[in-house]
Structure 1
């Protein structure tokens, strides 16, 4: 998946500023994709240059002008093309896994600390997912299929995160 595809998805329903897009990420896409402000604005500029977006400048009193991005017909076609293409399973790129191949050199205290910290981060992530679910998907049985689709990705994120936590617990229990 690319940031470009995520931006096309984000702008398909309504135009928005870079700030609006970041808020949409936080509200629903944060469990699927991460991007910094710099990455987002660079890609918006590239997409504009490629004719996928237009940008309307809206003057504001005592503030910088707002740049509101709109999906063009070409942007809609690019999104349709991306949606129609099957995605391959992505590789698992987790630097932590490489450390396991140097187990004997990896200091035990550093290992325990790193795995414990990761366990805590994953616990916090589960709490975030629970808050998202409560706010956006409290009654999934009443959602339309289109509204349920993001809920399914959230549920997968919860399951994967819980599996990670259990795996870390197994490694820590095994000890040295």
Structure 2
């Protein structure tokens, strides 16, 4: 999947500045796609050049002028075409932590345990952010009411998937810490 597809997905919410998109990207799309602000801005420029988005300048008094981006009809058509394509292949995990865990038996088990614990802290923080976003999306409604009333359900469904992923990371982390501690204890005796 190209960054441009993720940006077009974010722009389905409506017009946004590059700064707003970076914040939105970090808050919602980041549960399934990551990119630096520099990558986002470069891709926005390319997308504008390709006619997928348009930009308008908003003059501001005490701040630099900002550009607001929105999908063009060509951009919406590109989203429709992208959605119609079958996924290229299932997601593959590419995680440096897994390489460290794979090497735990010949390396410093305490360092690997610290890395797992750090990963769990990160997962907890992401879950907290995702839960706050979920509450904002629901706006006091039940899930059933949200799905019946919301204009778009994709952001909520991807958010729930991101939450499940982080919960699974925590569950795996607890197992890994327990087993690594057992291995370290057996080495000490």
Cross-structure match for 2:35: 35
Cross-structure match for 2:110: 109
Cross-structure match for 1:3: 3
1:52-67, aligned counterparts within 5 Å?
Answer: 52-67=52-67
1:141 to 2:141 alignment: no
Cross-structure match for 1:12: 12
8 Å contact from structure 1 (residues 129, 154) kept in 2? yes
Distance 1:27 1:101, change over 3 A: closer
In the alignment, the residues of structure 2 paired with residue 25 and residue 7 of structure 1 have an alpha-carbon distance, to the nearest angstrom, of 8
Q: What TM-score do the two structures reach when normalised by structure 2?
A: 0.81
Cross-structure match for 1:128: 129
Distance 1:78 1:131, change over 3 A: same
Runs (5+) with no aligned partner, structure 1: none
Runs (5+) with no aligned partner, structure 2: 184-189
Cross-structure match for 2:186: none
- Secondary structure of the corresponding residue to residue 165 of structure 2: helix
8 Å contact from structure 2 (residues 55, 70) kept in 1? yes
Deviation at 1:147, TM superposition (A): 4.0
1:170 to 2:150 alignment: no
Q: What TM-score do the two structures reach when normalised by structure 1?
A: 0.87
Number of residue pairs the alignment of both structures matches: 176
Structure 1 runs (4+) deviating above 6 angstroms are none
